[in-house]
Amino acid sequence: MSKTVLITGATSGIGLATARRFAKENFKLILCGRRQERLDQLKAELSAHTEVTTLNFDVRDQKEVNKALESLPLEFKDIQILINNAGNAHGLDFIQEGSSQDWDAMLDINVKGLLYVSQPIIQQMIKNKDGHVINIGSTAGKEVYPKGNVYCASKHAVDAINQGMRMDLNQHGIRVGAINPGLVETEFSKVRFKGDDERADKVYKGFKALQPEDIADIIHFTVTRPYHVNIADLVVMPTAQASSTVVKKSG
Ligand code: NDP
Ligand code: 8X3
């Protein structure tokens, strides 16, 4: 029987590429995001390969999250794989200049949202004695860079939650691991720079950035290991990147 995968942030970037990759491999998909039009398009596209359902909710709103999960049709209720991917950076500012709205967004989405989605699904995984949670962290969760302050804090929190989740769920046989990418060319920088496409595009100029499909491949590899193998914490960067602040660019 094919496994059911819930992917948050499936409307763009890493989540979207992962949805496409998993559809080809016949996993049953629960695709989540806030942009309904994109969810509808994706469902239409991927239903040719597998069973797909979509959920529209903002991960910041715990009531909305619970309501959405409760609304799942019976055949999608037992989730075996959770990919906690929804998240973004909002702004890139010195701490003395940062906006508290941006801080709230990053902590509420990247940290609290991940917890709100995870808890009910984990409770069900424990009951079913079957589950695998993949947390999408970042190199920003391993090191801090100038003006990255609160985004880095949010991803350091994901790193800590990943470790804590793995410890707490160890007795239940549930696999937990993080994938921590460096620079991936997605809508990430467009969101960070609030729609300033020129500034966003510059982030990925002069070197070959990771593509969302590269991360989708790694996620697929991670979930298809035999049960006794748990990829607990993996860092992946473009070859041109050595750390958050060392990137070999041409021109
Ligand atoms: P994108 O901006 O392309 O995708 C972000 C996704 O998150 C979208 O599908 C968006 O969907 C969803 N999302 C954002 N906010 C919310 C919210 N409040 N509620 C529900 N869904 C939300 O960026 P990426 O694909 O790059 O980012 C995916 C993950 O990868 C993030 O956690 C990011 O931190 C991480 N990451 C990205 C890296 C990069 O360089 N790109 C590197 C390392 C980690 P919608 O707007 O429809 O709700
Ligand atoms: C995204 C990678 O370096 O832009 O998490 O913070 S970075």
ipTM of the complex: 0.99
- Among 242, 230, 32, which Cα is nearest to 121's? 32
> Is the separation of the CB atoms in 197 and 190 below 8 Å?
yes
Report residue 55: phi and psi, to 5°.
-130, 130
Burial class (CB in 10 A: 0-12, 13-18, 19+), 143: middle
Q: CB of 59 closer than 6 A to ligand 2? A: no
Report the alpha-carbon distance of residue 83 to residue 133 in Å, rounded: 6
Name the nearest CA neighbour of 90 among 157, 151, 152.
151
- Catalytic residues, which ones? 151
Q: State the chain's mean pLDDT as an integer.
A: 98
CA distance 163 to 74: 31
pLDDT digits (tens, 9 = 90+) for 140-156: 999 999 999 999 999 99
Ligand 1 atom at minimum distance from 38 CA: 47
DSSP string, 124-147: HHHHHT--EEEEE--GGGTS--TT
Beta strands, E only, 61-149: 81-84, 132-136
> Among candidates 9, 54, 62, which has minimal Cα distance to 28?
54
Which ligand lies nearest to the CA atom of residue 190 in the structure? Answer: 1
Give percent of the chain above pLDDT 90.
99
Helical axes 114-128 vs 62-70, angle rounded to 10°: 40
Question: Which 8-state DSSP code applies to residue 74?
Answer: G
Name all domains of the chain by residue range, CATH numbers in brackets. Answer: 4-236 (3.40.50.720)
Closest ligand to Cα 183: 1
For residue 15, pLDDT beyond 80: yes
Q: How many CB atoms lie within 10 A of CB 106?
A: 25
Model confidence over 184-238: pLDDT tens digits? 999 999 999 999 999 999 999 999 999 999 999 999 999 999 999 999 999 999 9
Select from 45, 178, 21 the least CA-distant residue to 54.
45
Q: Kindly state the tokens that stand for 169.
A: 């769920």
- The residue nearest atom 8 of ligand 1, judged by CA position, is 9
Q: How many Å lie between the centroid of ligand 2 and the Cα of residue 136?
A: 12
d(CA 69, CA 179): 24
Dihedral pair phi/psi, residue 145, rounded to 5°: -125, 155
Q: What is the Cα–Cα distance from 212 to 221, expressed in whole angstroms?
A: 14
